[in-house]
Amino acid sequence: MLTSKKVPTSKFKRSAIAGAAATQIGLKHVGYKARKVFSAKDSASKHSEQDLQKHEEQIGELVFTVLSQLRGTAIKLSQLLSMETDILPETIRKKLKSACHEVPPINRALVRKQMVQELGNTPKQLFKEFDSEAFSAASIGQVHRALSFDDKELAVKVQYPGIGATIDSDLKMLEKLFWLLAKTTNNMPKKQVFSLVLAEMKSRLTEEINYEVEASNLRWFQQKIKLDGIVIPIVEQKFSSARVLSMQMLTGQPIDRWLANKPNQQQRNKLGQKLFDFFWYCALTLKKIHADPHPGNFLVLTDDQLGVIDFGCVRCLSDDFVHSFIAMLPKIVDSYIFNKNIAALFSSYQELKFIDQSVGFSTFESEVLPDLQRYGEWLGQAYISKSFDFTNKTPCPGKPDNVSGGAVKFLSGMYSEQPCFDRAHLGLMNLLTQIGANINTDYLRFMPAK
């Protein structure tokens, strides 16, 4: 049943919720430090790693709770932060990830009000049929089935009221919460790195809450994509505005549901290849990517084509970034899998602005590389040769018990497009692993001819 609970847009209410969470984080940290001192005196230091993990889980719970109460863009930020493998400890990211599944939709009265404000009429007047029960609810909007008077089946996305008013306050609130978090764990990056990530999130969210931008993105990708088997829905402009977006209804299944029907290996391979080709074609040929890797944003259509939806989060890639990242991938394979050319990888990390010029190679080799080894191996596996079988690939690893997580303190910056690209690339790898596809992973075939 739909809930009528509104997004709390009052600055006072949102500040009070965030302030209470900040106080609780502070108290949790004081308690943790006291237990740590007691444990050391009691010769129980061998449990320090477990204590830290439990402490981080409690902090993640508090951050998730406040973001859930604030709803709106705070939930979207929670989802984005859950994928920042370079920024947050795994225990915190796991908790934030649950935000993807805990977003209650708004009721029909609020939907009707939003439609009248945006399109000038009620759903009953605008459409031949309109299902007031949303069939999909996400962080900043929900989707309804509709039938136009000329019998077109449509998906109508309606934004939750009050979303745009919360972005700046939510970002400031997050900055404060994570400043406090940095005091509770050593596994946090420098302030300028987190500020860069938040600034990038603000840019993407500002675009994402404007459905006119998404409509423009849909039209752009429709015109530019020259790949067989990729379908992008057509926008119905007369039923669209900044907060309502109507588009062609694609008939198909989300990937999770499609997998539940146990497709054969050939079908898995075909779907995986489409996903891989779509990502790298956009990154290398178009230099503009669909940057929201949620599996629900891809549909397996009835004719086995791949439907791509939700173009609210799109990121352009600069030539410099693309060149630097593509140059780095073979070095990841060499260094993390074959233990060679480590100096070349070090240079690439500096070129991509990950590591400050003041960090020496010996420090990189002794303190940074060991912490990144497991993730580097995981990332590089798919690119050892021009094909890869994801059937036995494990999900993206977190921090192993035998590393400190201290590499993050050397993270000094990055290209502004790096966070979006990493989330999309990580999402691709996890989707291919979930599908268990055996595919051609030669991404360089999508590089434009010089």
Q: Over the stretch 345-362, which tens digit does the pLDDT of each residue have?
A: 999 998 888 887 788 999
Residue 185 has pLDDT above 90, yes or no: no
* The pLDDT of residue 433: 93
Range of lowest pLDDT (102-111, 179-188, 231-240, 366-375): 179-188
Question: CA-to-CA distance for 344 and 347, rounded, in angstroms?
Answer: 5
Tokens linked to 31: 């308690």
**345 vs 103 pLDDT, higher one:** 345
* The pLDDT of residue 3: 40
Range of lowest pLDDT (45-49, 180-184, 334-338, 365-369): 45-49
Residue 204 has pLDDT above 90, yes or no: no
**Which residues, including other chains, have CB under 8 Å from residue 205's CB and lie 6 or more apart?**
73, 76, 77, 167
* Domain chopping of the chain, boundaries: 11-102+164-188, 107-159+210-249, 252-450
> pLDDT (tens digit, 9 = 90+) per residue, 62-102?
666 666 555 556 666 666 665 554 555 565 666 566 554 44
Residue 29 has pLDDT above 60, yes or no: no
Residue 419 has pLDDT above 90, yes or no: no
Residue 53 has pLDDT above 70, yes or no: no
Question: CA-to-CA distance for 42 and 122, rounded, in angstroms?
Answer: 68
Cβ atoms of 348 and 328 closer than 8 Å: yes
Lateral strand order in the sheet of 252-254 = 230-231, 306-308, 298-301, 252-254
Q: Average of pLDDT values for 108-118?
A: 94
Cβ atoms of 52 and 185 closer than 8 Å: yes
Banded pLDDT at 420 (limits 50, 70, 90): confident
Residue 44 has pLDDT above 50, yes or no: no
User: Helices 342-351 and 319-332 meet at what angle, rounded to 10?
Assistant: 160
CA-to-CA dists, residue 271 to 56, 251, 266, 295, 299, angstroms: 37, 16, 9, 13, 10
Cβ atoms of 67 and 75 closer than 8 Å: yes
Task: State the pTM of this model.
Answer: 0.79
Tokens linked to 401: 């018990």
**243 vs 167 pLDDT, higher one:** 243
Most confident of 10-19, 59-68, 417-426: 417-426
> pLDDT (tens digit, 9 = 90+) per residue, 439-450?
999 999 999 876
Q: Which of 384, 391, 383, 385 lies closest to 425 in space, CA to CA?
A: 383
* The pLDDT of residue 1: 31
Residue 200 has pLDDT above 70, yes or no: yes
For a pLDDT cut of 90, what percent of the chain falls above it?
46
Cβ atoms of 56 and 183 closer than 8 Å: no
3-state secondary structure the chain: CCCCCCCCCCHHHHHHHHHHHHHHHHHHHHHHHHHHHHHHHCCCHHHHHHHHHHHHHHHHHHHHHHHHHHCCHHHHHHHHHCCCCCCCCHHHHHHHHHHHHCCCCCCHHHHHHHHHHHHCCCHHHHCCEECCCCCEECCCEEEEEEECCCCCEEEEEEECCCCHHHHHHHHHHHHHHHHHHHCCCCCCCCHHHHHHHHHHHHHHHHHHCCHHHHHHHHHHHHHHCCCCCEECCCECHHHCCCCEEEEECCCEEEHHHHHHCCCCHHHHHHHHHHHHHHHHHHHHHHCEEECCCCHHHEEEECCCCEEECCCCCEEECCHHHHHHHHHHHHHHHHHHHHCCCHHHHHHHHHHCCCECCCCCHHHHHHHHHHHHHHHHHHHHHHHCCCEEEHHHCCCCCCCCCCCCCHHHHHECCCCCCHHHHHHHHHHHHHHHHHHCCEEECCHHHHCCCC
* The pLDDT of residue 393: 87
Cβ atoms of 317 and 420 closer than 8 Å: no
Q: Average of pLDDT values for 49-62?
A: 64
Residue 412 has pLDDT above 50, yes or no: yes
Question: CA-to-CA distance for 220 and 217, rounded, in angstroms?
Answer: 5
* The pLDDT of residue 130: 97
Within 10 A of 386 (CB to CB), how many other CB atoms are there?
Answer: 11
Pairing of strands 288-290, 314-316: antiparallel
Question: CA-to-CA distance for 190 and 418, rounded, in angstroms?
Answer: 16
Provide the mean pLDDT of the chain: 81
**240 vs 203 pLDDT, higher one:** 240
> pLDDT (tens digit, 9 = 90+) per residue, 254-309?
999 999 999 999 999 999 999 999 999 999 999 999 988 778 889 999 888 999 99
* The pLDDT of residue 213: 95
In CATH, what class is 107-159+210-249? alpha beta
* The pLDDT of residue 292: 82
Cβ atoms of 261 and 392 closer than 8 Å: no
Range of lowest pLDDT (8-12, 24-28, 89-93): 8-12
Question: CA-to-CA distance for 315 and 418, rounded, in angstroms?
Answer: 10
CA-to-CA dists, residue 396 to 164, 301, 328, 370, 429, angstroms: 33, 27, 19, 17, 8
Question: CA-to-CA distance for 355 and 387, rounded, in angstroms?
Answer: 31
Cβ atoms of 375 and 397 closer than 8 Å: yes
